[in-house]
Every structure is written in structure tokens, then in C-alpha cells.
Amino acid sequence: MPHKYVTFSRNIFIPVTNVCRNACDYCVFRARSREDAYVTSVRDFLNVVRHKGAATEALFTAGENPERAYLSSFFKDRIIEAGFTSLVAYTKELCKLAIQHGLLPHCNLGVLSKEELEELRDVNASMGLMLETTAAELDAHKNSPGKDPAVRLKMIEEAGELKIPFTTGLLVGIGEDKEDRIRSLEAIKSVHERYEHIQEVIVQPFLPKPSTAMWNRKPPRFEELKEVVRVAKEILPEEIAIQVPPNLTLPKELIELGASDLGGISERTIDYINPESPWPREAELRSKVAPFELMERLPIYPRFIKKGWYSEELKPLIERYADEDGFRVR
């Protein structure tokens, strides 16, 4: 039976840089030239967080390993100008500023080493990395060394070793088949059974975008998404939430099949990964999921708050925002 409620968080979306070593055939986020490349400045970041509204989460994304990307010289010049030496060092400073402005950081910066995860752990309420798929050598990833499934699973495992509440997920429709999706979910389950750190698994559909190599590829049928949610509900442990993005899917039918979370929605910033798909406003979202109720959460799930899987640096904000059950104080 589905939950009586479905959870969500309020966030602001901060793209630290769009310089990326990967060149996925479906991506519009990655910079193609110096003209469209950027590194978000501290000034621009502060302009956003000072107007955060009711948000409790700062969602940081970035191109993966920009120090080794095609536009690495552009990235390094901007980082050095800001007084830093790496993406992780710079993002850590932004996380500290976010905390000062009442936001709990959640970083998804692509594949990171265990040392980099450790560096960011104390300034993050949770972290994430999309597994996407365990299917190796997909055409969509032929120019993306960071999309090696073994590399991504290793990072998810290392996050577990460090007791980092973690988000991962599947990208549906990029060339994988039904058996690949089952293997991906089983791989996530296997890691979680060892470390019990995965708080949610996103089921995200591929959407074709102009100017990409996969522009003419059809998105997955809604029936396929429903099947992935069904299978995820069967395979994943009960404590792992199945998340469906409300700006990319029809959430109510997926909630009826076992999805229980809608991810972060923002009133202040766009979805930089899917800029053509605006997030619904809260009132619209309530209408879309009725009769299920919306329950606001933090970027760290209630069970990890109860376990104390957070740093002293984050403790004051978590105590301010969380009720006795670990959800957002109403």
C-alpha cells in the first residue's frame, strides 16, 4: 500500500560550474565553449541565498571533475581568481556560506574520491550521485569516463563507509533495457545492505533536448516509468524512498505504485539540468498528488537525524528546522 503522504523539500539550486569532463549525448548542462562556460561567483551565490524564502536546502551541482575537462583552463583561471585550487575546495566554501544563511547543503558534484567526500562531509546534510545505470558501454556515455558504473558504485559505497546520507538514482531511457534496470536496482540494494546509508533512489526519465546527439531519441513511455517504480518497490528495502521528479513525470500514478518522495522544488531557481521543465508551485503540487498529503522534509531524512548522522556544524540548523519526528517544523 502507498503512503498516506508524499515528502518533498524546498531548495535553491546552485550550479557551481557547467565545465565537465563528461560529454553525455543527452546533456545540455555541460559547457561546449568558453562563451557559455561559467563558474558561479560568491557574489552571485549570495544574491540567491539572501532571497531563499522558505527553502531549507542548498542543492549544489557541478560538471564532473572540471579540472580535467576540455575547458579546464577556463575553470582553473576562475577558481584561482576566487582564491581556491579545486572544485571541492570552492564548493566547501559555498557550503559554509549556505549554512551561515540558514541552508543545509546537499552536494552532487559527480564522481568524487573518498578524500573529497571526507572533505565535504561535515558541511553537507546529505550528498548524492546518480548511478544512472549499470549498463556499460552505452553509446550515450561513449565520451564520458565518469559514467563507468563500477566507478560510480565505488563512490556510493565509499559514501556508505563514511556514513553520509545518500541519494542515487536511475536515468531511464538512455539505451538500457529492462534487465539493466533490475541489475541497477539490485546493485543499489546490495550497497545499502552493507552500509544502510541510501535515503532515496530517483527514477528519472530521459527527456530529449535540442542541440544534443539524442535530440531525436524518444523519451521512455510512461508505462515504462511505472514498471521501473513497481520493480523498485519490489527490490529496494522499505526504508529507501522512491523519488519521482514532479516536473518530469505525472507523480500521482507513480505514488500509487510505491513512490513516496518528490525531491526538491524551488520557488527561486530553475532546474538547471532540465531547464525546459519548471517545478510546480506547492499549491499546484498538492492538487496533483491529492488525496495524498504533502509532508515537507529536510535534505537529510528523518531516520538519519535520529541516528545523528550529521556534524556539529549542521546541528543548530537541524535542531531549528526538524520536528520531533524529523520532518520540517510546521
Q: What is the dihedral of CA 203, 104, 74, 69, to 10 degrees?
A: -40
Domain that holds residue 215: 5-310
Q: Pairing state of beta strands 198-205 and 57-61?
A: unpaired
In a domain, 327, yes or no: no
In a domain, 316, yes or no: no
pLDDT tens for the chain, 330 residues long, are 456 899 999 999 999 999 999 999 999 999 999 999 999 999 999 999 998 999 999 999 999 999 999 999 999 999 999 999 999 999 999 999 999 999 999 999 999 999 999 999 999 999 999 999 999 999 999 999 999 999 999 999 999 999 999 999 999 999 999 999 999 999 999 999 999 999 999 999 999 999 999 999 999 999 999 999 999 999 999 999 999 999 999 999 999 999 999 999 998 899 999 999 999 988 999 999 999 999 999 999 999 999 999 999 999 999 999 999 999 998
Measured distance CA(311)–CA(143) in Å, rounded: 37
Q: Are 55 and 298 in contact (CB under 8 A)?
A: no
Decide: residue 256, CB within 10 A, 0-12 exposed, 13-18 middle, 19+ buried.
Answer: middle
What are the cell numbers at 224? Answer: 515504462
pLDDT the model gives residue 27: 96
In a domain, 150, yes or no: yes
Residue 70, CA atoms < 13 Å, CB-side half-sphere: 13
pLDDT the model gives residue 330: 83
In a domain, 318, yes or no: no
pLDDT the model gives residue 3: 63
In a domain, 317, yes or no: no
Which residues lie below 8 Å from residue 276, measured CB to CB, with a gap of 6+?
207, 209
Report the number of distinct structural domains present in the chain: 1
In a domain, 321, yes or no: no
CATH of the domain at 93: 3.20.20.70
Is there a cis peptide before residue 15, judged by omega within 30 degrees of 0?
Answer: no
Measured distance CA(302)–CA(82) in Å, rounded: 36
In a domain, 112, yes or no: yes
Measured distance CA(163)–CA(251) in Å, rounded: 30
Measured distance CA(265)–CA(12) in Å, rounded: 8
Q: To which residue does cell 545518500 refer?
A: 166
In a domain, 324, yes or no: no
The tens digit of pLDDT for each residue in 247-296 reads 999 999 999 999 999 999 998 899 999 999 999 988 999 999 999 999 99
Task: Report the SS3 class of residue 258.
Answer: coil
